[in-house]
Amino acid sequence: MQFSVIFEAQLADPTVEREHQVIRDSVEQAVLAEAMGFDRVWAVEHHSLKWYAHMSAPEIFLTWVAARTRTIRIGHGVVCMPFNFNHPARVAERAAMLDLLSGGRLDLGAGRGGTEQETSLCGVDRARTAQEVEEALRIIGKAWEKEELEHHGPLLDIAPHPILPRPQQLPHPPLFLACSRTETLAQAADLGIGALVMGFAGPGSIAAMREAYDAAVTARTGERLVSSVVNDHFSVLCPTIVLDDGEAARRVGIRGQRFFAQSIGHWYGGAGVPDEAVVEGSDEAAEMRRAAEQVVARLHEHDIPVRPTSTATFNADHAYGTADDAIAYVERLRDAGADEIMCLIQMGTVPQEACLETLRQWGEKVIPHFRERERGQAQAAGADA
């Protein structure tokens, strides 16, 4: 199993000074993540989503991180793939350059960037985003398979052109797709690319999503593969804050997640702006429940069906607490089928010192627990052979 850290540059009280600081803080966290034994950092592209995500140019952030590190993999995921955000040929060029300069450490993920706030900024047709993402993946998947890229698809027509430079990883860096529904899981499996899965609903939901992904992998015919290289990798989001004081970690983590959930509700569902106040001693679990109830009430008011996904981001049962609490939760995710644990630590109200301490706790206690178990299993397997 692999371990990674994911960044969106979330920001409460988003002044210019605080925005600049949170991006610098994210670099500091990414560099520490390598020292603590994490396998990968991910950075997610979003545009104009105040509070929720100030990571508008993750390729620049990741280039800076790559220059400051040596071994940790560089996850450019997700890239907003609709054409008005990023032409697929330009994505391929940038990906190849970053892969080359990082020494072959790049992973590349695709997403839709489908909020009205984002699509209206760049003139993206929201009705075509899913179609454009898949066609972009097909173009990127074959960009380096031959000396020149040539593509004649339903949406784009590209005459033969070389895509320069060539990446260090051949034929290209591993590909992923952001997945939040059964349909996108099936799409990722059918295309032969990894799944980046939102894990807010908990291990039970993750197990069902893994089952759907595996079923689609088993059923695929190969006709829709986007590359000659298949990547059946299942990465799962894991909100986490870990401190020696487990109760303090739960308060800090759940408060940060509530900010995150309310920010998502604002941009994806028209809810009010997120609550930015941090009140010492608050019962954050109760505040989270109240926030979820407000979302349900708003949906009822607008005659919008209330589905399990509507309140999943308000589920507070995650890797919050001591290192032992985190280990127990990760074991549940592992049993649910996770190949990779994507730690969501940098949430808008979480202070930098708690982010850094969480990374240290994972590096010193959580990750070694699983590495030692894997070594023991490997040695046992070797003895049996």
Cβ-in-10-Å burial (0-12, 13-18, 19+) of 313 comes to buried
If phi > 0 it is left, if psi is from -120 to 50 it is alpha, else beta; for residue 197 that is beta
Residue range 193-232, pLDDT digits in tens: 999 998 898 999 999 999 999 999 999 999 999 999 999 9
If phi > 0 it is left, if psi is from -120 to 50 it is alpha, else beta; for residue 129 that is alpha
Alpha carbons 243 and 252: distance in angstroms, whole number: 10
Q: What is the pLDDT of residue 274?
A: 87
Alpha carbons 385 and 380: distance in angstroms, whole number: 9
Q: What is the pLDDT of residue 382?
A: 74
Instruction: Please check whether residue 189 is in contact with residue 232, taking contact to mean a CB–CB distance below 8 angstroms.
Output: yes
Cα-based torsion angle of the residue sequence 315, 319, 322, 327 in order, rounded to the nearest 10 degrees: 140
Q: What is the pLDDT of residue 304?
A: 64
Q: What is the pLDDT of residue 299?
A: 65
Q: Phi then psi for 109, rounded to 5 degrees?
A: -115, 150
Q: What is the pLDDT of residue 377?
A: 81
Q: What is the pLDDT of residue 305?
A: 66
Instruction: Please check whether residue 144 is in contact with residue 172, taking contact to mean a CB–CB distance below 8 angstroms.
Output: yes
Of the candidates 295, 317, 320, the residue with the CA atom closest to the CA atom of residue 308: 295
Of the candidates 290, 236, 281, 280, the residue with the CA atom closest to the CA atom of residue 258: 290
Alpha carbons 245 and 50: distance in angstroms, whole number: 31
Those residues of the chain that have pLDDT short of 70 are 299-300, 302-306, 308-310, 385
Q: What is the pLDDT of residue 270?
A: 77
Q: Mutual orientation of helices 16-35 and 352-361 as an angle, nearest 10°?
A: 10
